[in-house]
Structure 1
Amino acid sequence: MSEAASAPAVRATVGDSEFDRDTAVTRRSPGVYDLDLSAGWTIINAVNGGYLLAVVGRALADALPHSDPFTISAHYLTASRPGPATVRTETVRTGRTLSTGQASLLQYDEDGKEVERIRVLASYGDLDALPDDVRTSAKPPPLPPLDQCLGPADGPAPVEGSSAIADRLLLKLDPATVGWALGQPSGNGEIRGWFGLADGRDADPLSLLLAVDALPPTAFELGLKGWVPTVELTVHVRCRPAPGPLRVFLTTRNLAGGFLEEDAEVWDSADRLVAQSRQLARVRLG
């Protein structure tokens, strides 16, 4: 399948797409936002951590005087579930080029008690105001053309309802990093692939928060199975991405004590490093 063939006939636009609708927040009062977490961004029953970060990131973009996330760190305290939720934000500091805020995403449990799901600290600015000077030794990851990579349709049929998020993504993985899907993990702890939204919406700073956490976990290529819940995730957004699919490169170097770190690089169609992240995640051993 070619890149053109995999693109939707009618492309959604930023502000008018499924991602925008499902991350929408409604301001109830200053700093307080109501929302509904969509079941469309789940894996089994777990709401994807990158989607959750984008939801909170959208609330902070409204609450703070600057609209673009520069750095955002989230601690995942309890498992979120689809349905109503609230984001409470607080402005910590505002400056000329950066503003810093914190936010909590909350839901109610079966007993009607409010439970904090995520706590976030973030600094926002204006990506368009950054200087063009780039001095880097980073290079885009080696990745075959999109039509030579593998997507969900190329593997075994998934269990019904097991990965709703896959229907909302254009995700094509480097064949060299999908040995785990064939029962032959490489042990290298690397996953590489093309990333986009299935409706053709181009990437923006908020969708980069999803991109860093949307590929299969590197734990799979280490021969581990099962859910890999995020404990903490920090994302650095470096510049506004150019139109077109993104390339995402995940690596892990150290699994110890049932936890691993996972580093992500996100590259745009102009060969720019547009986002970086590191997360700490738990793994099931044995």
Structure 2
Amino acid sequence: MTELTDALRLEESGTGWAGTLTNDWAIGDAVNGGLLMSLAATAVARSSTAAGGHADPLTFSGVFLSPGAAGPVRVEPQILRSGRSMTTAQVSVSQPAGDGSVERMRALLTLGDLTRYADPVQKTVAAPEIPPPEHCVSARDAPPSTLTESGFLKRFDARMDPATIGWAAGEPSGNGELRGWLRLADGADLDAIGLLLVLDAFPPVSFDLGSVGWVPTVEFTGYVRGVPAPGWLQLRLHTEHAAGGLLNEDCQVWDSSGRLVAHSRQLASARFPA
């Protein structure tokens, strides 16, 4: 069993699914939102296939209501419609709190069969030219901080394009762009559901604009376009607008064959120096 499959392990429980969140996937005290998305998609896919529906996430649109924490977690999917080619569902992720529970995230998903939508490709975007992984900078070589010392970062082998890491030395470029490579630290290959985690795995692009501290996601919309080929994934993050402490962050992911396999846009909150 890989680290990720262990983190996404769920057991049927009443009308939903039960699992456990750990600090292995946390940044500071908060479990990464990408892991919550992959966990939610796992529960929806299992419920969908059990009802004769589809298993591959095509779209994911979620709002984050409170930070996830280490401990028990409950995932409640609801299949809204299952047709011949697509299944639509909603899902809620919550954790115990006192005598009740607190909701961490709620999302709408569309599922289908990714092989049905892989070809032909009428138009796409190519990955940017960046140095190969061995000539990029490992995220683990960054100065000690809450980010670099987090359990989450240790789950990945992340390599940053040297041209986009000035922020790590206190010299953000102001371009609002990060590029690099990513794979799981244990060498396991990622599947379609794992791509939701990847879309929220890199440092926030706001760092390249000089922001400081935690950058929580307000809303996230992601699209999975294919099952990734084994090997390194290439990522590009960029922002087109930041104002009033909010910014959009766009992420594109290509697999080792150069095929675009996922992309997303999220609205995030960031703090900037006065």
Is the pair's TM-score, using the shorter chain for normalization, greater than 0.5?
Answer: yes
Equivalent in the alignment of 1:87: 75
Residue of structure 1 equivalent to 2:34: 50
- Secondary structure of the corresponding residue to residue 13 of structure 2: strand
Q: 2:221 aligns to what SS in structure 1?
A: strand
For the 8 Å contact 1:172–1:193, the answer to whether it is kept is yes
Shift of 1:82: 1.0
One-letter amino acid matched to 2:230: P
2:174 aligns with 187
Query: Is contact 1:177-1:191 (8 Å) kept?
Result: yes
* Map 1:22-33 → 2, pairs under 5 A: 22-30=7-15, 32-33=16-17
2:59 maps to 1:74: no
**In structure 2, what is the equivalent of residue 60 of structure 1?**
44
- 1:130 CA displacement: 2.6
Residue by residue over 1:122-166, the C-alpha shift from the partner in whole angstroms, topping out at 9 and shown as x without a partner, is 000111233510022411122211001111332224469841111
Q: Is the 8 A contact 1:44 1:161 kept in 2?
A: no
Instruction: Note closer, same or farther for the CA distance 1:131–1:20 as it changes in structure 2 (3 Å cut).
Output: closer
Unaligned runs of 5+ in 2: none
Shift of 1:259: 0.5
Q: Name the CA shift for 1:244/1:131 in 2 (closer, same or farther; >3 Å).
A: closer
Question: Contact 2:21–2:71 (CA<8 Å) still a contact in 1?
Answer: yes
C-alpha distance in 1 between matches for 2:12 and 2:250: 33
Partner of 1:6: none
Q: 1:124 aligns with which of 111, 121, 137?
A: 111
Deviations 1:57-99 (A, max 9, x none): 1001101121100001110011111110101111100000000
Tell whether the 8 Å contact from 1:93 to 1:100 is kept in structure 2 after alignment. Answer: yes
Kindly provide the CA deviation profile for residues 141-192 of structure 1, in whole angstroms up to 9, marking residues without a partner as x. Answer: 2221100111133222446984111111010000111100101000000011
RMSD of aligned C-alpha atoms? 1.4
- Residues 39 and 221 (structure 1), Cα distance of their counterparts in 2 relative to 1, 3 Å cut: same
| Preserved contact between residue 151 and residue 171 of structure 1 (Cα < 8 Å) | yes
Letter of the 2:158 partner, please give it.
Answer: L
Residue of structure 2 equivalent to 1:100: 88
Question: Equivalents in 1 of 2:193, 2:226: separation in Å?
Answer: 12
Which amino acid counterpart does residue 33 of structure 1 have in structure 2?
Answer: W
Structure 1 letter corresponding to 2:27: I
Q: Match of 2:47, as an amino acid? A: A
Q: Following the alignment from structure 1 to structure 2, what is the Cα–Cα distance between the partners of residues 214 and 143?
A: 19
Task: Tell me the equivalent position of 1:20.
Answer: 5
Q: 158, 162, 169: which one pairs with 1:175?
A: 162
**Whole-angstrom distance in 2 between the partners of 1:48 and 1:176:** 26
- Residue aligning to 1:222: 209
SS at match of 2:95: strand
Paired letter, 1:245: W
Taking structure 1 as the reference length, the TM-score comes to: 0.91
**TM value normalised by structure 2:** 0.95
Identity of aligned residues (%): 43
Partners of 1:270 and 1:161 lie apart in 2 by 29
Is the partner of 1:271 in helix, strand or coil? coil
Amino acid at match of 1:26: E
Contact 2:28 2:150 survives alignment (8 Å): yes
